[in-house]
Amino acid sequence: MKITALNGFKDILPGDIELWQRVESTAREIFSRFQFSELRLPILEKTELFARSIGEATDIVEKEMYTFVDKGVTMRPETTAQMIRAYIEHGLYAQRPIQRLFTIGPMFRHERPQLGRLRQFHQLDAEVLGTDNPRIDAEVMAMGSMLLERLGISVSLEMNSLGCPECRPVFRQRLLAFLEERMDHLCDDCKRRSTTNPLRALDCKNPTCREQVADAPSILDNLCEGCADHFQVVRSCLDKLKVPYSLNKFMVRGLDYYCRTTFEFITGDLGAQSAVGGGGRYDGLVEKLGGPKKTPGIGFAMGLERLVLLLQQQEKEQEKRQEELDIFVAGLGPVASEVCFDLVHELRKQGLRVGIDHEGKSLKSQMKQADKAGATHVLIVGEDELARGEGVLRNMTNQEQQDIALDPQVIGTKVSGR
């Protein structure tokens, strides 16, 4: 019997590993610019650590953890909680008032495996402990953006504020009142969660729930003064750093420990797995886990698999583009075909990838050839145009056409966009 790897667990082989190494070394380089230090943490932790931090009524703790029930230990589903555990255990707060830490490694969640969703996956995780200065929120998001930009991955940054223990309960009540009127139309998950965590209805993926909450009250209109001010400064700091973002009042993040600033880096290129990374502030968590009082924190985690998938897609597109023709020259009739013969050679001398048909095929057939070769432009030279010393240049991307002189320089400049 052949023994294969478990479903949702993947080998990373030579050929793929290079992209992993690139992501990891780029992350180390960018994180060091922001004065972050690396640490490595164990895979197993006491179950209680995650139950207490992430929250009992969250997807992760409810159904995604790999737990050895008899031993009371769990394979880490995320690393913020254990980062804090280590921070407290080793008294890192005493060494530096503000710690900037990051780690890279595998996480484990029992989810349905699909593209960009595995049971063992890897995260880059960065956290700043010991300050609630809104500038840090902006710096942390700017660091994530800088990393993605450096990797050439385009995403949008979405942001929300989840308020604090002072204003969130008030909002929660208001939201609950709103949801109660629509409870019959909500999915079973949202109904069940309405008593434990009604905010989750806001980011439910179910289309009917989405419709129902479309005009739910926004937490951003319900923040207390302290949270509203904090969020305002975060926003102006992002503007100052020229980091683009948009507000998303539906983003609540699935973990109990978040407060105030929360954010996600979103891509449109991975289907349903649109979050490349996410994070937020967790000002009460250190204290809750037995650490020193008033030790705020903020951080984010990015999924390495999703970053690597995006880079692979990028490489494929680049390869495809490299094979594509810049221009296909279609001469119609023997005279035009003669003129095109040396025109094509001149264009190739300029470095363009050029296709031509020597078999006297119809325009339709030549257009087909051009299309197949992925030509971005086609130059059509018919007898009428030839009489004027011109051809018709068609841009295949936007279908625009223009008359153009049969001059290799003029055509070359137009096609290469120089």
CA distance 23 to 220: 35
Query: According to the binding rule CB under 6 A, does residue 303 interact with ligand ATP?
Result: yes
Burial class (CB in 10 A: 0-12, 13-18, 19+), 373: middle
Q: Which is nearer to ligand ATP, 198 or 277 (CB)?
A: 277
Total chain residues near ligand ATP (CB under 6 A): 19
Nearer Cβ to ligand ATP (258/328) = 258
Q: Residue 123 CB, nearest distance to ligand ATP (Å)?
A: 5
Position among 30, 275, 298, 356 found at the interface with ligand ATP (CB under 6 A): 275
| C-alpha distances in Å from residue 392, one per residue of 17, 223, 340, 375, 413 | 47, 61, 13, 15, 15
Taking CB atoms, the residue at the shortest distance from ligand ATP is 303
Is 93 assigned a ligand-binding role in the annotation? no
**127 in a labelled binding site:** yes
190 near ligand ATP (CB under 6 A): no
Spatial contact of 304 and 183, defined as CB atoms under 8 Å apart: no
- The answer to whether 80 is annotated as binding is yes
Nearest Cα neighbor of 283 from 171, 126, 128 is: 128
Per-residue string for binding with ligand ATP, 225-254, x by CB under 6 A? -----------------------------x
Binders of ligand ATP among 147-186, rule CB under 6 A?
none
Cα–Cα dist 220/217, whole Å: 9
Q: How far is the CB of 172 from ligand ATP (least distance, A)?
A: 20
Long-range contacts of 231-240 (CB under 8 A, 24+ apart): 231/134, 231/161, 231/260, 231/261, 233/134, 233/135, 234/134, 234/137, 234/138, 234/159, 234/261, 235/159, 237/134, 237/135, 237/137, 237/138, 237/139, 238/138, 238/141, 238/142, 240/138
79 labelled ligand-binding: yes
- CA atoms of 58 and 54, how far apart (whole Å): 7
Give yes or no for a contact between 317 and 287, defined as CB atoms under 8 angstroms apart: no
Query: Would you count residue 83 as binding ligand ATP (CB under 6 A)?
Result: no
**For ligand ATP, the closer CB: 65 or 276:** 276
In degrees, rounded to 5, the angle at the alpha carbon of residue 49 between the alpha carbons of residues 131 and 118 is 95
Distance CA 47, CA 74 (A): 5
At closest approach, how far in Å is the CB of 330 from ligand ATP? Answer: 47
Nearest distance, CB of residue 287 and ligand ATP, angstroms? 22
21 annotated binding-site participant: no
Q: Give min distance, CB of 154 to ligand ATP, in A.
A: 15
Min dist. Cβ of residue 122 to ligand ATP (A) = 8
Pairing of strands 275-281, 327-331: unpaired
Q: Is 305 in the site for ligand ATP (CB under 6 A)?
A: yes
| Binding residue for ligand ATP, selected from 111, 189, 269, 287, defined by CB under 6 A | 111
Contacts with ligand ATP by CB under 6 A lie at: 78, 109, 111, 116-118, 121, 123, 254, 273, 275-278, 301-303, 305-306
Binding residues for L-histidine: 78-80, 109, 123, 127, 253, 257-258
